[in-house]
Structure 1
Amino acid sequence: MHKPTILVTIPSHDDTTRYLSAWSKPVIELAQKKKDQIVILKGKQVNLKEFKNATEKNQPSFIFFNGHGNETTVTGQDNQPLVDADKNIDVLKNKIIYALSCQSAKKLGPKSIKHGTKTYIGYNEDFIFMYDSNKKKGPEKDETAGCFLKASNQIAISLLEEKTTGQAYADSQNAFQKKIRDLLTSESKKEQSSMIRYLTWDMKHQVCLGGQDEKI
């Protein structure tokens, strides 16, 4: 049975990317457990040259971007552009994309679908998460951030479990909804009220563009 090739980008140059990096580990561990071929670009490796080489050499069926972004771009280490809607969008052709970054599903995502990307899952506004400032040295133990990042990373988890892109999107949406319900039924504190607001925001602005029945 053919094992898919997965490319994961995990820059780590500020608080946001360090958190995304830490919380990407369960995804990577699942891919390794399933013996999928996984290519990981970490830290300074997450630059345009290395990304281009990795995509050309390995032809991944699924790319999981972690990092910053805007309406037309997904970036890597030190916010170096990896994919730009006006320069190298064809690098996403025939692939399933999950971009855990701000705003890229507003313009980059739709344009990539027109250029042959199978499915683009991402956020059409900022992806916002809260974290415990006392846990910054151990972000993987920060359950405040985990409320957001477990729900968002359910996309990648479900895809690795051989679900369709539409199912993966539904699973992530359900994970956001469950966390919101859990917080609503707890003795609400001010912090939890903010968490509910931002979880709802992320859920609302997470979109699945293109094919809904694709698998990696």
Structure 2
Amino acid sequence: MNDSTSKKKRRRRRGGSRRKGKSDKAQTPETTAKAPQTKESGGSSKGRGASQKKGGRSGRRDDSRAKGNKAPAAESFADMVAAYPPEYSRLPEFIKQCRHQRGKEDEFTEDEFFYFITTSIETLTEDKLDELYFSKYAEPLKEIRLREGLEEDHFWKPDDPSMPEDYRQLLDEFRTEKREILAKMFQNFGESELGEMVVDRHSEYLEQREKGKADFYSRHKFEAV
């Protein structure tokens, strides 16, 4: 199992490109489609509703200010899907819309909604997974590789019989903790059943996620990147 991917992911985390179907840092297929993580900053609301100048009419409205502060129209679910994956800051709203539309929307299958929700929540969990990996596992794994004579940026393949047992055990521990963190994030979004699926039926989880991805890109003629 290869634990090099995390460094690459951190380098492209804030990039604007859309990448889907990528596994996470240890090349265990825990996470997938990665939304562009461009976080939007909101302007300050300081000064709104300030008192009127002396002599001004009571209750008079400044139309130019009102127009300037007008909130943008909410993006429709269809628009979000057409631009999938949404910007990082819009992922919570996209998840909310998916949960609302699931079962009502005929255009997308249950597997496609599964794909939308799981990949969005996985993307929102990546910072926590990175923190776990680099704070607890990166250095011990590196020490074992160097001990066994591997160069710093070389790794064993997951099915390599020469992989040391202590290295394999560390990767298994990382995988278990990772799934537990992801399950908690699913619970936070009201998807407890998906959280249980991640932990208890992970192969089934991956299979349905990949089926939803295949359906989405084949049925709607979107190009998978």
Into which bin does the TM-score normalised by the smaller protein fall? under 0.3
Q: With CA pairs under 8 Å and 6+ residues apart, which has the higher RCO, 1 or 2?
A: 2
* Higher helix fraction (1 or 2): 2
* Higher strand fraction (1 or 2): 1
TM-score, with length taken from structure 2: 0.26
